[in-house]
Amino acid sequence: MAQMMINGKSTPALSGKTLDVLAPSDGLVYDSIPRGEAADVDLACSAARAALEGPWGRFSALERSRLLLNFSRKILDHLDELTDIEARDTGKPLTAARADITVLARYFEYYGGAADKIHGQVIPFLNDYSALLVREPLGVTAHIIPWNYPAQMFGRSTAPALAMGNAVVVKPAEDACLSVIRVAELAQEVGFPPGAINIVTGLGEEAGASLAEHPGIDFISFTGSNEVGIKIQQAAALNAVKCVLELGGKTAHVVFDDANFELAVPTIIKGIVQNTGQTCVAGSRLLVQKEIYTGFMAMLAEAFAKVRAGTPEMDANCGPVISEKQFRRVNRFIDAGINDGLEIICQGEILPGVPEGGYFIAPTLFSADDHSSDLLTQEIFGPVLVALPFSDEADAIRLSNATDYGLQGAVWTENGSRQQRMARGIRCGQLYINCFGAGGGVELPFGGVKRSGHGREKGFIALEELSTTKTIVQFYGA
């Protein structure tokens, strides 16, 4: 049975309750996790506070830097083990799980390298005064992360927090969190003091909600659904703490008539099939200029039909979706698309030999005549791509922006002025031109506008989000 991590110790829930862990590729129970509740969250928050007031709070920037770098290497030393854990827990192909663990290590490498390079400022002020701006940790930071990339999300959220000297309390998702638990054990081995990294597993509405409203936290970051994100912001408001919200997206690829098809086609397919479409930045809409629509779609369909879904060991293009709930949700969207009159252009294949009870969905490419269907405005979170023709630049910008989300955008054209006009016109936090980075790029600031949330993760900017400033004014005259 997997355990939580509180104050440096692997521990069950105080209540002794557990939750089953299922493998998405066969739907069978193979482990359990503690069902943490408010009392467990309370212990974790107290342990984090004590760590800040104790040894962890006294770590110098250089010591934090070295510790994070050692942690990064430790994760890579356990690459095979963590890959297997992640693949089984999420159902993703082994190659993808391996890449995720490598990115997890990269987060600690990147922020380990940064930890001792954050400078304050000296501010010119009145004569005989010295004014300093110093960066300080926020304190106890809470991190509620989703199941689509458990290991990566742990790195993305906690590495900058730890680099800045915060103590973290993490509530990973009940649907997949075994890699996070194992990584937290490795953190203790590598020398994080007790309480610097705490993990409370459990249900969102229990452990998650208790953490979000706990008076002992100084910050909360959340990645997940829009609906829960709004609750998190409300909980944060009760304690007047800052929150960073990443609430998904509905990324559109915009393909103009002068695009490089050979470059665009495989990238667009990867952008929706990767992680079985369960990615906040999945490229789930495809806007194609009407003059090339038929030709481009023919080329895309030919490649899309070759996409395969399989178990982690089959190492296909994608795996199953995470749970029965998500399986039903994605299938509901596919049915709705058919009811809305969208045309299925082609489907990929579920590989023969996948277990009966697995949550497999055939990757599906739809074509639409207008932007009215829910499939074009809502986050499906499955391997479903919907294409639609557009007329000109203005139309492409209007359609790109025709959802409540604003996380990421992508433009395919060789015309440099048009690239720039599109980049300025699409409302989002990250925009790709003739390339697409679904989820990638530890170095690249990331986050949304509109209902995709606010605040930024990744890159150097995350270090600012995970810290605060103090202005120190000193009079040194006679």
Catalytic positions, please? 246, 280
Closest C-alpha among 14, 308, 279 to residue 153: 279
Which residues on neighbouring strands pair with residue 220, listed in sequence order?
142, 243
Residue (223 or 413) nearer to ligand NAI, CB: 223
Distances (CA, A) of 69 to 64, 427, 441: 9, 36, 18
| Min CB(399)–ligand NAI separation in Å | 21
State the amino acid at position 430 in one-letter form: Q
| Min CB(380)–ligand NAI separation in Å | 7
| Min CB(27)–ligand NAI separation in Å | 17
Residue (89 or 174) nearer to ligand NAI, CB: 174
Distances (CA, A) of 216 to 16, 169, 240, 383, 439: 24, 11, 12, 40, 31
Kindly state whether residue 209 participates in binding ligand NAI, applying the rule CB under 6 A: yes
Q: Which of 90, 223, 267, 400 binds ligand NAI (CB under 6 A)?
A: 223
Q: In this structure, what token pair is assigned to residue 268?
A: 């667009």
How far is the C-alpha of 16 from the C-alpha of 243, rounded, in Å? 31
Using CB under 6 A as the binding criterion, the count of chain residues that bind ligand NAI stands at 25
Kindly state whether residue 89 participates in binding ligand NAI, applying the rule CB under 6 A: no
Kindly state whether residue 381 participates in binding ligand NAI, applying the rule CB under 6 A: yes
The angle formed by the CA atoms of residues 297, 301 and 303, to the nearest 5 degrees, is 125
Distances (CA, A) of 100 to 82, 204, 278: 10, 23, 14
Site residues for ligand NAI, 304-343, by CB under 6 A, read 326, 329
Q: Which of 224, 310, 319, 358 binds ligand NAI (CB under 6 A)?
A: 224
Kindly state whether residue 21 participates in binding ligand NAI, applying the rule CB under 6 A: no
Residue 377: how many CB atoms within 10 A of its CB?
14
| Min CB(231)–ligand NAI separation in Å | 5
Per-residue binding string, ligand NAI, 116-155, x by CB under 6 A, is ----------------------------xxx-x-------
Find tokens 């395919």 and name the residue: 412
Q: Which of 17, 66, 231, 270 binds ligand NAI (CB under 6 A)?
A: 231
Kindly state whether residue 345 participates in binding ligand NAI, applying the rule CB under 6 A: no
Kindly state whether residue 220 participates in binding ligand NAI, applying the rule CB under 6 A: no
| Min CB(204)–ligand NAI separation in Å | 2
Q: Which of 188, 225, 233, 401 binds ligand NAI (CB under 6 A)?
A: 225
Residue 101: how many CB atoms within 10 A of its CB?
26
How far is the C-alpha of 85 from the C-alpha of 183, rounded, in Å? 11
How far is the C-alpha of 375 from the C-alpha of 230, rounded, in Å? 22
Supply φ then ψ for residue 63, to 5 degrees: -65, -40
